[in-house]
Structure 1
Amino acid sequence: MAAHQIYFHLTWSTHRRMPMIDGPTRNFLDGFFRRTIIQERVTLVALAFLRSHVHLLVRCAPRIDLGHLVQLLKGGSSYAASRRPDNRLGLRWNRQYSVTSVSPKLLQAAIDYIEGQNRRHPDEMVHTLKSEPGKPLRLSAVPHWAHSSECGQQGETITSDPPLETIA
């Protein structure tokens, strides 16, 4: 087991909190964030997308440059998403972001908080066709993620939104 268990809850919003994250943008961001986080040798613990903001819970090494990680996630995703043909809304982030350290003792509470974002902000749900009604999408490649010794190892819980009832 690693000697460190360093967790951070990151969140940021779209420019002027405008609802810029639709289904295709959410799907793009999901892949982009995962690839970037793996490249930076960080473990994704939980992730939630809403129409105007995102929440990430990550585990990382003691020497992580959080500012650089956020720059890669925000700047890179905005640049790439805004150039996609299926992105009709554009994607711009506010300059600010929030980062809070999370104690291993409070880890489950932080996960529950992120997984509960759709209940907290029902008007900001991003509708996709990935999850079953009433169930968050959970992807756990390594069920014992909290005990992994490698920061770059996969084993995350991803929160998705309820599927569309009807397709227009």
Structure 2
Amino acid sequence: MANTYAQIYIHIVFAVKFRDAMLHDDWRDDLIKYIAGIIRNNGQKLIKGGGWRDHVHLLISCNTSVNIANLVKDIKIHTNKWIQPKHKCRFSWQDGYAAISISQSHVDPLCQYIENQPQHHAKVTMVDEF
């Protein structure tokens, strides 16, 4: 549709199966870069990605045609295939995810929150948080 304007921001969070601490510091940034490519290939834009040893946070700017369930499924399938052979581990994501819409005014604070995950989880576990 011509002249359509949409500003859709979705905060997605999903965890490693059994919340195992498998997302190691030395390659977690590479994982986020890989996820950014998957998101881009799905026609969306990663604003900020990060996480901790047992989960991932993604802030995505979405167009009007996005199917969140299919996007998350695609991210999980492709990252699972990327992680297992590259890091020689038995890896799986937990079923399900959280997808929360946010307003433009919350983009910067959420980016800071995602950026500060290591410091945040030094004090609060994901289980305690959710």
Work out whether the TM-score is over 0.5: yes
| Letter of the structure 2 residue corresponding to residue 96 of structure 1 | G
Give TM-score, length-normalised by structure 2. Answer: 0.83
Q: Which residue does the alignment assign to 1:21?
A: 23
Distance 1:69 1:113 in 2: 23
Distance 2:26 2:106 in 1: 33
Return closer, same or farther for 1:123/1:93 CA change in 2, 3 Å cut-off.
farther
Q: Which residue does the alignment assign to 1:9?
A: 11
Return closer, same or farther for 1:120/1:27 CA change in 2, 3 Å cut-off.
closer
Instruction: Name the SS of the counterpart of 1:121 in structure 2.
Output: helix
Distance 1:62 1:19 in 2: 35
Distance 1:92 1:25 in 2: 16
Distance 1:88 1:27 in 2: 18
Instruction: Name the SS of the counterpart of 1:7 in structure 2.
Output: strand
Q: Which residue does the alignment assign to 1:139?
A: none
Distance 2:38 2:27 in 1: 16
- RMSD (CA atoms): 2.0
CA contact (8 A) 2:52 2:118 kept: yes
Q: Which residue does the alignment assign to 2:107?
A: 107
Q: Which residue does the alignment assign to 1:93?
A: 93
| Letter of the structure 1 residue corresponding to residue 74 of structure 2 | L
Q: Does 1:119 align with 2:91?
A: no
| Letter of the structure 1 residue corresponding to residue 106 of structure 2 | L
Q: After the TM superposition, which parts of structure 1 deviate over 6 Å for at least 4 consecutive aligned residues?
A: none
Distance 2:117 2:25 in 1: 16
Give TM-score, length-normalised by structure 1. Answer: 0.65
Instruction: Report the Cα offset of residue 88 of structure 1.
Output: 4.0
Distance 1:24 1:105 in 2: 32
Distance 1:88 1:49 in 2: 21
Q: How many residues align?
A: 121
Higher Cα Rg, which structure: 1
Q: What are structure 2's unaligned runs of at least 5 residues?
A: 125-130
Q: How does 1:7-156 map to 2 (within 5 A)?
A: 7-84=9-86, 87-122=87-122
Q: Name the one with the larger helix percent.
A: 2
Q: Name the one with the larger strand percent.
A: 2
Q: Alpha-carbon deviations, 1:101-124, whole Å to 9, x = none? A: 011122222222212212111289
Instruction: Report the Cα offset of residue 75 of structure 1.
Output: 1.5
Q: Alpha-carbon deviations, 1:71-112, whole Å to 9, x = none? A: 11112111221122xx14432110011000011122222222
Q: What are structure 1's unaligned runs of at least 5 residues?
A: 125-168
Distance 2:104 2:48 in 1: 14
